[in-house]
């Protein structure tokens, strides 16, 4: 997000980098955490940006933020708040991606990610013990367990299974009506490439799927400069979208979420 924001700034865009709730040192600003389909904050920020600058707004989401912006685009449908969205390595089927993270090959990543989630509960319990209880935290052994114990109940989803089912962008993609770019790698260990063979992606004419043979999860590295080639690739797509919509390459505001 930081390197993309820098590249976008150098290209003349206004950039607004959005941390999801409790991420990026924002824990003290909200009693609630984020969840994988929480789109209301992105809507609010996009509306304020649109009102202040009177320019087209596009949303770029990385990893989990990719699921958020795709779900948001589907929820908005024909609404003109956003001129386009781009999702890089998005986990569009949350249940399948959580299972993939739990595979043996991803053990180190899963342990690190889960440990950070647990530490967040511990910190939040200090300020809001009634909402964030540490009882049973030691028994949480996977991300699925964590979402079943904390995320789903906190947001009224009941169970992790229902949370994943209702918040996966895969179910909202058919309703997307604005230009959309999805960038993913066929060897992504966290997001199975087979997800993008879904009819919701293939049959929507406004969606462009850019799939590379290699790249892993957000690891789109080039042998030569620019090192992270996906940044220029996405910005070139944004320029084309703006050109088609306005007849000129006027720069706009980008909201990067992750």
pLDDT tens digits, 84-119: 999 999 999 999 999 999 999 999 999 999 999 999
Please tell me the total count of domains within the chain.
2
| Euclidean distance between CA atoms 135 and 121, whole angstroms | 11
Choosing from 138, 167, 196, the residue where a domain stops is 167
Looking at the structure, tell me whether residues 63 and 189 fall in a common domain. yes
Residues 6+ apart with CB under 8 A from 153: none
- In 3D space, the residue among 233, 252, 226, 211 whose CA is nearest the CA of residue 59 turns out to be 252
Looking at the structure, tell me whether residues 156 and 28 fall in a common domain. no
140 neighbors 132 (Cβ within 8 angstroms): no
pLDDT of residue 253: 66
pLDDT digits (tens, 9 = 90+) for 120-133: 999 999 888 888 99
pTM of model > 0.85: yes
Q: In what order do the strands lie in the sheet with 84-88?
A: 14-18, 253-257, 57-62, 84-88, 180-185, 207-212
Report helix, strand or coil for 207. strand
The DSSP bridge partners found for residue 105 are none
Looking at the structure, tell me whether residues 73 and 102 fall in a common domain. no
| Euclidean distance between CA atoms 239 and 19, whole angstroms | 25
pLDDT digits (tens, 9 = 90+) for 228-245: 899 999 999 999 999 999
pLDDT at 251 over 70: no
Q: How many residues does the chain have?
A: 258
Looking at the structure, tell me whether residues 50 and 18 fall in a common domain. yes
């Amino acid at each position: 997000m930081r390197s993309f924001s820098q590249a976008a700034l150098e290209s003349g865009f206004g950039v607004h980098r959005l941390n999801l709730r409790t991420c990026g040192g924002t824990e003290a600003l909200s009693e609630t955490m984020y969840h994988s389909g929480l789109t209301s904050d992105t809507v609010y920020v996009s509306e304020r940006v649109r009102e202040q600058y009177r320019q087209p707004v596009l949303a770029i989401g990385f990893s989990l933020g990719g699921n958020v912006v795709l779900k948001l685009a589907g929820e908005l449908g024909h609404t003109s708040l956003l001129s386009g969205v781009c999702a890089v390595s998005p986990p569009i089927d949350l249940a399948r991606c959580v299972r993939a993270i739990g595979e043996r090959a991803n053990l180190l990543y899963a342990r690190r990610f889960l440990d950070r989630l647990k530490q967040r509960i511990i910190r939040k319990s200090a300020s809001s013990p009634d909402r964030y209880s540490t009882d049973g935290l030691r028994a949480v052994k996977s991300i699925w367990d964590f979402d079943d114990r904390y995320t789903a109940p906190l947001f009224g989803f009941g169970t992790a299974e229902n949370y994943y089912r209702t918040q996966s962008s895969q179910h909202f993609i058919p309703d997307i009506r604005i230009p959309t770019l999805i960038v993913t790698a066929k060897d992504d260990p966290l997001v199975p490439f087979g997800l993008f063979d879904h009819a919701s992606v293939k049959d929507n004419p406004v969606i462009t799927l850019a799939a590379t043979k290699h790249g892993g999860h957000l690891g789109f590295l080039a042998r030569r400069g620019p090192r992270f080639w996906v940044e220029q690739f996405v910005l070139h797509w944004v320029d084309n979208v703006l050109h088609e919509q306005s007849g000129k390459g006027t720069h706009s505001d980008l909201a990067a979420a992750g």
